Structure 1
């Protein structure tokens, strides 16, 4: 099991009040990181998670903000810096999914899917980089989707896969842009994870990825010896390939 020493680091996982974000935030706290619990609407859940993190002997704060709004992103980072110091580990986890066929989707839903996945990743990464560059060290991990970069997807959910493909492209661009600054940018791309509403029949090993499976992939990029790994997309799919391969 990969267990990075995160003592002395400040971690922000966007969308950390529930699901994977919650599990990852608590896992980082258990390994010594001070954590910012980010939420948009789930304030009670965020407060509970922050309290759980403090029981691990670390500092924790809650921050509210819409990651697609530049002013809100600026505000949440300023709040974190005031309480915990600059964010040097960022996991861009927020990303809406819509089950409707893209041709029947209203514009607001389309916009939500594209903006939470792409714009949110861009805005949070851009803001975090200022502190990372000053420190000469930083880790950015973006959550993608298995096989999105290959175009091996269900056309029904075109906006989501378009968005995740953009996230993976942006990850590679971030890596190239920060290669001489002690900062790495990588992606972790699950297929189906345990809190999904529906499980398809083609799941490898007969189960979805557990939160711990995805956390271990993220931790690969947070290990102290991982500083030369950047621009990588690590799929957590159990070997899954779409039917059209």
Structure 2
């Protein structure tokens, strides 16, 4: 089991009031990180996660913000910095999913899927970078989706695949752009994880990925010895490949 020493680091996990983000924030707290629990609508859940994090002996705060709004992202980071100090580990976890055929999808839903995944990752990364550059150290991990970099698109999930492909392209670009600054940028791409509403029949191990499976992949990039790994994407899919590969 990978257990990075995160003592002295401040971690911001977007969308960490519930689901995978919640589990990841608490896992970072257990390994010594001060944790910012981000939410947009689930304030009570976020405050409860922050309290649980504090019970492990670290500092924690809950912060609200719309990651698709530049002003709100600035306020989000300002709140984290006032409470915990500058963010040096960022996990861009937020990303809306809508399993609707693209022709039947309302424009507002299209915008939400594209903006929470792509724009949110861009804005939060851009806001975090100056402090990381000044410190000469930083870690950014973006959450992708298995197979999206292969260009395989199910018409029912097309906007999500397209958005996650954009996230992976941004990951590689940002990794190259920060390669000499002590900052690494990587992606972790699950297929189906344990809080999904339904499990497809093609799961290779007859079960979805657990939160812990995904967290272990994220922790690979937070290890002290992983400073040369940047621009990588780890699929957490149990070996799954779509039928048309």
TM-score strictly above 0.5: yes
Give the TM-score taking structure 1 as reference length.
0.99
In structure 1, distance between residues paired with 2:164 and 2:83: 32
In structure 2, distance between residues paired with 1:32 and 1:8: 7
| 8 Å Cα contact 1:153-1:242 kept in structure 2 | no
Three-state SS of the structure 2 residue aligned to 1:200 is coil
1:16 counterpart residue number: 16
| 8 Å Cα contact 1:16-1:38 kept in structure 2 | yes
Three-state SS of the structure 2 residue aligned to 1:117 is helix
In structure 1, distance between residues paired with 2:145 and 2:171: 13
How many residue pairs get aligned? The number is 245
2:189 counterpart residue number: 189
Dislocated runs of 4+, deviation >2 Å:
none
1:224 counterpart residue number: 224
1:81 counterpart residue number: 81
1:177, CA displacement in angstroms?
0.4
**Structure 1 unmatched ranges of 5 or more:** none
**Equivalent residues in 2 for 1:62-211, closer than 5 Å:** 62-211=62-211
1:147, CA displacement in angstroms?
0.7
In structure 1, distance between residues paired with 2:223 and 2:242: 31
1:25 counterpart residue number: 25
Deviations 1:44-67 (A, max 9, x none): 000100000001000000100000
In structure 2, distance between residues paired with 1:100 and 1:153: 13
Three-state SS of the structure 2 residue aligned to 1:162 is helix
In structure 2, distance between residues paired with 1:148 and 1:168: 8
Deviations 1:146-168 (A, max 9, x none): 01000123122110000000000
In structure 2, distance between residues paired with 1:28 and 1:90: 11
In structure 1, distance between residues paired with 2:236 and 2:153: 16
1:99, CA displacement in angstroms?
1.2
In structure 2, distance between residues paired with 1:155 and 1:229: 33
**Structure 2 unmatched ranges of 5 or more:** none
* RMSD of Structure 2 on Structure 1 (CA): 0.5
| 8 Å Cα contact 1:117-1:164 kept in structure 2 | yes
In structure 1, distance between residues paired with 2:154 and 2:211: 24
1:236 counterpart residue number: 236
In structure 2, distance between residues paired with 1:148 and 1:185: 18
